[in-house]
Amino acid sequence: MGVGDRCFSVMQIKIMRSKPHEEVGDRCYEEGMYEAAKLLYSNVSNFARLASTLVHLGEYQAAVDNSRKASSTRTWKEVCFACMDGQEFRFAQLCGLHIVIHADELEELMCYYQDRGYFEELILLLEAALGLERAHMGMFTELAILYSKFKPQKMLEHLELFWSRVNIPKVLRAAEQAHLWAELVFLYDKYEEYDNAVLTMMSHPTEAWKEGQFKDIITKVANVELCYRALQFYLDYKPLLINDLLLVLSPRLDHTWTVSFFSKDAMQHAAESRDAELAQKLLQWFLEEGKRECFAACLFTCYDLLRPDMVLELAWRHNLVDLAMPYFIQVMREYLSKVDKLDALESLRKQEEHVTEPAPLVFDFDGHE
């Protein structure tokens, strides 16, 4: 008779003496006699204790089956953690599905997985749990955060499907920390933080800007100043699409300001191009459109590209000589400065020509100096 048989015989004797089966089973469990405890717990249908005993015996499938019969969150957790420790992740997931549906148990379960580095397994568990009838916001939120850290390529799709079921402020922080700008814009939009959405797209256009999305959100911003910043952004980043942006923004823009904004940009472009003909045509256009202030500003922005005689003629024809007078004063000042420099150079040259040349040596007839 083996040791196990002798132990079991002792147990039978105790049972015959009317000792409670569970009490004896507990003593066997505490002393590590799991086979005996298994038989005793089975006999009294104590499924919770039986499940705990079975994981010690490595009988994980049976432990899961008895956890289901016990229908106790505590038992599910004990078996789940034991399966994880034994790296039986399939059984751990089966148990975990009965734990994650309890919002107050989710954090402990996630910590147990993450503390052991089982991030992939935790993601698989939460993915499998999303379809459960009792799935709650915490599950969708924590899965989104895990995606941001370990599987960023899956986060946007997850948000598009379940954005209404996540804690948006919490996921926003995770997306920002992970520098997931497109996901951040998506969340700002759904959370109705349109100003932040636009700022993010303009700050990170390569990752976050989408034409249709930008035009839709820019019309909803609270800060009108962002509309004007958007114009500059398009001029720098997408100049060929500026007309499309103007169409959607026109109800919110000050048209006088907008014209001035584009006039200033046109002047800057002309000045940087170093094209005298372009600068002249721009100056003439301002006059034709009656934009006197823009005409005056262009005289200085494109100062070195404009011919003074041409400016004088235009100013005289349009009765703007007074407006152009500061320009002519500057031209005259530069002209006189150049004349003064030329006079100084000429005086210096003449002085050098009149420097006394060394007198030649003169000798007498005796050959002496």
In a domain, 248, yes or no: yes
Give yes or no: residues 39 and 123 share one domain. Answer: yes
What residues contact 138, with CB distance under 8 A and at least 6 apart? 103, 106, 167
| pLDDT above 90: residue 212 | yes
By percentage, how much of the chain surpasses pLDDT 70? 89
Within-domain flag for 2: no
Within-domain flag for 146? no
pLDDT attached to residue 28:
85
pLDDT at residue 209 tops 90: yes
128: pLDDT strictly greater than 50? yes
How many residues in the chain? 369
In this prediction, what percent of the chain has a pLDDT beyond 90? 50
For residues 243 and 215, is the Cβ–Cβ distance under 8 A?
A: no
Task: Write out the two tokens for 167.
Answer: 């804690």
241 and 261, same domain (yes or no): no
pLDDT at 282: 83
Q: Model confidence over 70-102: pLDDT tens digits?
A: 989 999 999 999 999 999 999 999 999 999 999
- The pLDDT-based confidence of 301 (bands split at 50, 70, 90) is confident
Q: Could you give the number of structural domains in the chain?
A: 3
Q: Assign residue 34 the CATH number of its domain.
A: 1.25.40
Decide which of 353 and 26 is more confident: 26
Residue 140 confidence (pLDDT): 98
CA nearest to 242, candidates 273, 211, 267, 205:
211
Question: Domain for residue 9, yes or no?
Answer: no
Res 286 pLDDT > 90: no
Whether 157 maps to a domain, the answer reads: no
**Does 149 map to a domain?**
no
100 and 117 part of one domain = yes
Give yes or no: residues 279 and 248 share one domain.
no
Domain extent at residue 266 = 254-342
Question: What six digits make up the tokens of 114?
Answer: 């993450």
Q: Sorting pLDDT into bands at 50, 70 and 90, what band is 18?
A: very low
Are 275 and 237 members of one domain?
no
Q: What is the pLDDT of residue 364?
A: 56
SS3 66: helix
Contacts of residue 147, defined as CB under 8 A and 6 or more positions apart, other chains included, come to 123, 154, 155, 158
Threshold 0.85, pTM exceeds: no
Q: Is residue 175 part of a domain?
A: no
pLDDT digits (tens, 9 = 90+) for 175-191: 999 999 999 999 999 99
246 and 270 share one domain: no
Q: Is residue 350 part of a domain?
A: no
253, 287, 305: which is the final residue of a domain?
A: 253
Statement: residue 132 has pLDDT above 90: yes
| pLDDT value for 184 | 98
